[in-house]
Amino acid sequence: MAPISSSLTAIDEVLILRKAKRLSSNISSAYSTTKGRQQNRENFFKYLDEYLFAPSVFLRFLCEVERMIGHDELDEEDVLSKGYF
């Protein structure tokens, strides 16, 4: 089963789930090891609590996935030969 390449897939929109800036590299590098994640756990939880997921954007994402999947029944043999999983 060969997966279908998505390299030529057009990007129609970008959904931003958190209304926040990315963590800068000097901060995110502190999370690159297990020890660093353990030491900075409280700071990361604070960041997650401060910048919650935007429910409306998440719902929009779910609706888009549902629209793309559709409600058609798929033939199992066709799905496996095309590489959908």
Domain assignments of the chain as residue spans, ordered by start? 25-82
pTM of the model: 0.53
Mean pLDDT in runs of 10 for the chain (85 residues)? 66 84 88 93 92 92 82 69 63
Q: Tell me what pLDDT residue 83 has.
A: 66
Nearest to 6 by CA among 78, 68, 52, 71: 68
Side chain identity at residue 77, one-letter code: E
- CA dist., res. 29 & res. 26, Å (int): 5
